[in-house]
Structure 1
């Protein structure tokens, strides 16, 4: 799952990114609305954590443009104002959720995950199961035939994407786009290495099949 944090307070942005990465998300950071729009035009983000009071291009205008373009990216708007009228205005602009500062970080993570589930068509349940494999996307746990798989955050993200594909082939490019951040080098073989480790933890019989020249399928 890929998240863009648009926050002009650099210390807060760094804290947000660190916490979201620990929760298993691939996170990029921008500090103004203009850069946010540039990134959103380049990459397919699942969720945008958007500070309302951004320089260059105001957060309200970022939300308007994103919604006007028909983007599937969900918007969680952050603001220092907790007034009801501000929340209403933010939601009317097209934000999918609204959170006042200061906030409890576990609540932020929970809201981001909920927006990601809602962004899928049809909406995804929090529990994904197939062939003895049970993945809880809220608690971030994966079990196969009663055995805890002890996946790394990246392995969990890749497995979740494969499960969500529901039998469709997922290319290495799509996995890199959705599970890694903008700094990932597409030529490092990161997807191949991660897939090898994931297969080892899933055990036998094998669940992930390589479709030569196309990608991977669960």
Structure 2
């Protein structure tokens, strides 16, 4: 089970997160703090692999907390909540090491879904069965990419592995490819969304030209573009994610 520490001065919102986490049952809210004092120690003591931080309030300095967590090498995934007016400070917080940013207002179920996707294994890590399943998913993705002839030495290869894995667990990401999927992959590789998109596009185009044509037609069929003969990034990712999900009965 994932363990979460909340650092937010908004008591009503914190209570909503706690309630939703209890309802779903797979995220344990280990502590709720309404000020940042002692937050690093609390995260360590609880063995939390998720931290939800308010960006700015009189009692919470989210940027400073992110800096301290990263300076002390706390291996938690950090989610920062902000308003649209705090964009400049939010950018700085990402540079300091925040993993994911959410703009208020947003709904709590969506927030928790994102947490499940991005949580790093921590002292209270995912159960062995979950870890084994994730290894199986990655192995299945790699096998399919290799069968198609996607060049392993291309940057787009690893980006595809990550993108497909994310979509296996959350198909709705295909509806927000540029706003959520590419940025999610980019954060994992310390690069930009645009570079992720270009690298994936390049890997797909080379594969369609030099790859295993029999496997390509078997995998995609009608999804191939009638004019260019190449699937779009999203259709390529979505089709392979569907195949892996069916193969392993994930979700």
Matched ranges for 1:16-35 at <5 A: 16-23=17-24, 24-27=26-29, 28-35=31-38
| Per-residue deviation, 1:59 | 1.3
2:77 counterpart (74, 77, 80): 74
Where 1:71 maps in the other structure, the secondary structure is coil
CA distances 1:158-187 after superposition (whole Å, capped 9, x unpaired) = xxxxxxxxxxxxxxxxxxxxxxxxxxxxxx
What TM-score do the two structures reach when normalised by structure 1?
0.52
> 1:50 maps to what in 2?
53
What are structure 2's unaligned runs of at least 5 residues? 126-130, 137-167, 171-251
> 1:8 maps to what in 2?
9
What are structure 1's unaligned runs of at least 5 residues? 130-136, 140-218
Where 2:84 maps in the other structure, the secondary structure is coil
Give the whole-Å Cα distance in 2 for the aligned partners of 1:98 and 1:113: 14
Structure with higher helix content: 2
CA contact (8 A) 1:113 1:138 kept: no
Where 1:34 maps in the other structure, the secondary structure is coil
| Per-residue deviation, 1:127 | 4.9
CA change 1:83–1:42 in 2 (3 A) is closer
Determine whether 1:100 maps to 2:108. no
Structure with higher strand content: 1
| Per-residue deviation, 1:20 | 2.0
| Per-residue deviation, 1:76 | 0.2
Give the whole-Å Cα distance in 1 for the aligned partners of 2:102 and 2:18: 16
CA change 1:82–1:105 in 2 (3 A) is farther
> 2:240 maps to what in 1?
none
> 1:144 maps to what in 2?
none
Where 2:97 maps in the other structure, the secondary structure is coil
